[in-house]
Structure 1
């Protein structure tokens, strides 16, 4: 399980790094064309905004891998260990349901709808840029399952230590 998590995390980190470098390079190109060449590059601005959206959603998947999504620890931390584990698993199940319904199902729907539209500057189907929604939904679902397995293992390990 850790092999899968590590491989996905390395891939997402690499994509985030490449995306960031591309955004910086394209923004520099945009500034150069606007102020030096006096002929602004509209396609680079559009591509940077799509890359930013991709980087944000892929970053959200990385946060899910680290179990860094929103929670209210002040309530859960005061509970006994058994109840805490139940709430941790419940939180992961909520994240799984959100990823399945909103990101995967909704993402597929909007991607299909947007395939008929093209971007103004790039001339690419808008749906291509929306593919990140179901992709990140699937990644989040994988990570939440791995998180639930880790939570359950830590419960089993705790019981072994107590015995």
Structure 2
């Protein structure tokens, strides 16, 4: 196993655990909300906001995780019609486009959003935490997606070299 595969597996495992913890907190939060509403007769306003933020984090981290595992949604009808050589070229093109999307939209756009909300000192309505911290997941996940794309491109390229030998 190469060094890049070890790093990839380690990062994927860490992402899995982070998402498990977020999901567990989300479940506990919703259960607490139901318990407090129906058994205590009171509703805590912070539980809805926490659930929303946890779902945002889990979704965006999940997108990065699935991209890394190459288990994201794809329509490959046309791709399957290509020859093996063209499939490799198309795979590299797809990974480059994913990399560029993650760079421009998620990292650059996300950093701009984080900076703006922190600079304007915007706070969440109930929890009163800076929204920049909530939005920070966007550039972080974008960076992970970029790293995964580089990893996938190197794997495609290395497989291409091995097949030519």
- TM-score tier by shorter-chain length is over 0.9
Q: 2:160 aligns with which of 146, 155, 159?
A: 155
Structure 2 residue 122 is matched with structure 1 residue 117: yes
Q: CA deviation at 1:70?
A: 4.3
Q: CA deviation at 1:81?
A: 1.3
Q: CA deviation at 1:79?
A: 1.4
1:93-132: CA deviation from partner (whole Å, max 9, x where unpaired): 0000000000000001111122211111101011110000
Moved over 4 A (4+): none
5+ residue gaps in structure 2?
Answer: none
1:44-73: CA deviation from partner (whole Å, max 9, x where unpaired): 110111000000011001111122334432
TM-score, scaled to structure 1: 0.94
Q: CA deviation at 1:22?
A: 0.3
Structure 2 residue 60 is matched with structure 1 residue 51: no
Measure the CA separation in 2 of the matches of 1:98 and 1:70. 16
5+ residue gaps in structure 1?
Answer: none
Task: Point out the more displaced range, 41-50 or 151-160.
Answer: 151-160
Q: Which residue of 2 aligns with 1:81?
A: 84
Q: CA deviation at 1:152?
A: 1.1
TM-score, scaled to structure 2: 0.93
Structure 2 residue 146 is matched with structure 1 residue 137: no
